[in-house]
Amino acid sequence: MKLKKIILNIGIVILILSCATNPFTGKKTLAFVGNDQLFPSAFAQYNQVLSENKIITGTKDAEMIKRVGQRIAVASERYLTANGFQGYLDDYKWEYSLIESDQVNAWAMPGGKVAFYTGILPIAQNETGVAAIMGHEVAHALANHGQQRMSAAYIQQGLAVAGNIALSKDQQALGIFNQSYGIVSNVAGTLPFSRGHETEADKIGIYLMAIAGYNPEEASVLWQRMKANSGGQAPPEFLSTHPSNDSRIQNLKALAPKAKAEAKKYGITSFRPIN
């Protein structure tokens, strides 16, 4: 019993010491892996992806991706500095690549490495649509969502090990635990955790695109196009890593006026034309 208490106390201390602050929400987040380890690994993975794919350079689309990315990065720095996080981006090494692929996808690595696939450009339709996507993906990197997912995975694995140790003398209970733990921890833990990140990135992203001078009203319009492109093929929201398209559209519509109000704090009262 004393050993269990010691282990529990050590676990609590580790949790307390392994926390970071989300600069956009002010909330404490899990950070078992520091940026000094996370960023080099992310940069290496990014370079590997680039080496394995055809990178589009010198075109209008490639230049647009870089231009939008740079504007979102400047907006991020303005926001973070204004909210007491000056220097937060010092270790970020921004890079924006356009990859030739039919995939309807874009992503950002921890530390500011961003990739767009050509397959998503017809849905983006215009520079403002690209800004909505860019803001969302950059938000994941800024809010350390990758770091949090890794930390959560460590906890999930640790609980699985602890359960196996605790039930090692009861093979029937151990079998039931192992059969159910993966499903329960996924539906009740991992998936809601991921959906929360997506919703948070939507909010941060729409603020950043507005501060960068792009009309935030286009974000919900973009997701209407995303919904049309998916053909309605999506799992129920509670079984998905992402909120449903309808939830997302409604949320972004509600956030657009707030994003405009936020942009106004930085002197942005009009937005670039949608073209």
Active-site annotation holds for 137: yes
Task: Name the catalytic one among 137, 200, 218, 262.
Answer: 137
Q: At what angle do helices 145-166 and 127-142 cross, to 10 degrees?
A: 50
- Separation in Å, CA 102 to CA 60, 113, 123, 179: 18, 20, 12, 37
- Separation in Å, CA 81 to CA 28, 67, 186: 19, 21, 37
Asked if 207 contacts 262 with a C-beta cutoff of 8 angstroms, the reply is yes
Sheet of strand 95-99: strand arrangement: 55-56, 95-99, 113-117, 106-109
For strands 95-99 and 113-117, give the pairing: parallel
Residues known to be catalytic:
137
